[in-house]
Amino acid sequence: MSSKFSKASLVMSKGFKPIERDILSLKLEDGKTYSRVEAEKIIKETKGGLR
């Protein structure tokens, strides 16, 4: 099972670029937990697959 992280943990993570952390801040729900894969998927979908 993969680890789950809070919105705050992911938004503060140095593993994401600043723009990606901004996306997570807007898209993730408070009180829920997300795996890194879920967070990356949300970023990709929000960006429309662009890098």
Distances (CA, A) of 43 to 19, 37, 47: 9, 10, 6
Number of folded domains that form the chain: 1
Mean pLDDT throughout 15-31?
96
Going by DSSP bridges, is the β-strand pair 33-34/5-6 parallel, antiparallel, or unpaired?
A: antiparallel
pLDDT at 49: 60
Q: Check: CB of residue 40 under 8 Å from CB of residue 7.
A: no
The domain of 15 spans: 5-47
Query: Among 49, 6, 50, which Cα is nearest to 39's?
Result: 6
Q: Check: CB of residue 22 under 8 Å from CB of residue 47.
A: no
pLDDT at 9: 97
Which residue carries 């801040």 as its tokens? 25
Comparison of pLDDT for 2 and 45, the residue scoring more: 45
Residue 23 has pLDDT above 60, yes or no: yes
Which tokens sit at 21? Answer: 């952390």
